[in-house]
Amino acid sequence: MSQLIKMAKEHKLAAKQDTEKRKPVRVLGPYCDAPTKYRLVIAEDGKKRSVCFKTMEEAEALKNKLLQHEEQAKAKTVGELVDLWLSFQDSVRGQKQSTSEYLALQLKGWLPIRTLATSISEATARALYAALVEQVSPRTKRKRSVTTHHLYLYSAKRVWKWATEQGLCKSNPWLKVTPIGRKSKGKPQLRIDEARKLEAVAMQRAKEGDVPALGTLLMMYLGLRQGEVTARVARDIDDDGRVLWVPFGKTHNARRRLRIPEQLRPLILRLMATKRADEPLFYPATHKRTWNAYYNVRVRALCRLAGVPEVVPHSLRGLHATLALEGGATADAVAKALGHSSFAMTEQHYASPSSVSNARSSRVAQTLGGGENKFSELLNSLSEIDLQNLLTELQARGERKDIIVPDCAT
């Protein structure tokens, strides 16, 4: 019996200690001998101290104040929360440093970084996003595009979602914030006749030694990203100017080997002769502008010279996808050339809907009748002797015993 009593006391003591751990601040009272006495008990570092009050309201008021202060001491500011999230993305997800720097600049540029992250309510989140939509970019002096502020909102949702999963925030205030406006599908693209005009001007300028014009042609012919053009050094050119290697890039699928068009080969070889093996080919290392601003300015200038609508360099990547599809390239081939994991990404962001539809229509027509026509054309192009030899060989194999030789060959 004594053993059971001892175990019960130990269990009661453990439960009491556990309660104190869970409730570091609690109010006790009233007491039988003092009905107007209330004690606020504070447990900290294994020690307890108490403060007496005459009313329950006074004790509860101080208790709530202490709990709020404790929660604020543990809470992170928005800026600290963003830094923690980026650190997690870098260490666990393997995010690139340049991406982290961009996201840090993006998020800290419009979120109240000194405000406690837990104090951001759904109403505050809506107000912050509405202000962002109307905000004028200090760089462009214009309102941000729909795509841009949608991206900013998506990033904020990701930060608070992670914070909720980690227990740093109780809820995600951005979850029900709806993006404002509709995103345009892809970037503006040149028409085929406009693209030919731009190509002619860029080729002429490239022959005269204009390096950005040569980089522009690579974007058009190979579908390269701006960063993939500016990052290329002389050692990335292989097989005597016939092959361009992209050893790294924006995604894991960006690594690829591309065939350089023959008309660009002499221009690239001439440029390589003036460069070291590790020196950028299509971007001056001493240039003060960022690489995207460098080509944005020059591609627009080439468009003006060609008398076509001004487009950004990334539009040339979409132009490449569109023309390749309409020229008969398969969806998988176009996706691999652009460094995408699947054609779904290519279709969503680059290839115009009409080009995808035209390519599919062409494949349907080829399947229904084009294949047979091409076979007939091939047979018609052979001489009578070649046809007889082909017939003899096929009959010997037992593959076709009923070949009909076209009339034009007999």
Q: Where are the domains of the chain?
A: 17-74, 78-165, 192-351, 368-409
How far apart CA 302 and CA 313 sit, in angstroms, is: 11
Task: Say how far residue 214 (Cα) sits from the centre of its chain.
Answer: 27
What pLDDT score does 168 carry? 85
**Could you tell me which residues come within 8 angstroms of residue 5 by beta carbon, excluding any fewer than 6 positions away?**
none
What pLDDT score does 35 carry? 67
What pLDDT score does 401 carry? 46
The pTM score is 0.51
Supply 229's token pair. 């053009």
DSSP one-letter code for 404: P
User: At CB < 8 A and 24+ separation, what contacts does 131-137 make?
Assistant: 133/180, 133/181, 135/110
What pLDDT score does 359 carry? 46
What pLDDT score does 20 carry? 44
Helix (H) / strand (E) element for 298: namely: helix 291-306
What pLDDT score does 362 carry? 45
Helix (H) / strand (E) element for 16: namely: helix 2-22
Q: Whose CA is closest to 133, among 112, 150, 118?
A: 150
Locus of tokens 């109240």: 112
The architecture CATH gives domain 192-351: Orthogonal Bundle (1.10)
pLDDT tens, position by position, for the chain (410 residues)? 556 555 555 655 554 554 444 456 666 666 666 666 777 777 665 667 777 877 888 878 877 776 665 565 567 899 999 998 988 887 766 677 777 888 888 899 899 999 999 899 999 999 999 999 998 887 778 888 888 889 999 999 999 998 888 888 889 999 999 998 876 555 677 888 999 999 999 999 999 999 999 999 998 888 888 888 888 888 898 888 888 888 876 666 677 888 898 999 999 999 999 888 888 888 876 655 565 678 888 999 999 999 999 998 888 887 887 777 777 677 777 777 777 665 555 555 555 545 444 444 444 444 344 444 555 555 565 666 666 667 777 666 554 444 444 444 33
How far apart CA 97 and CA 93 sit, in angstroms, is: 12
Alpha carbon distance, N-terminus to C-terminus of the chain: 116
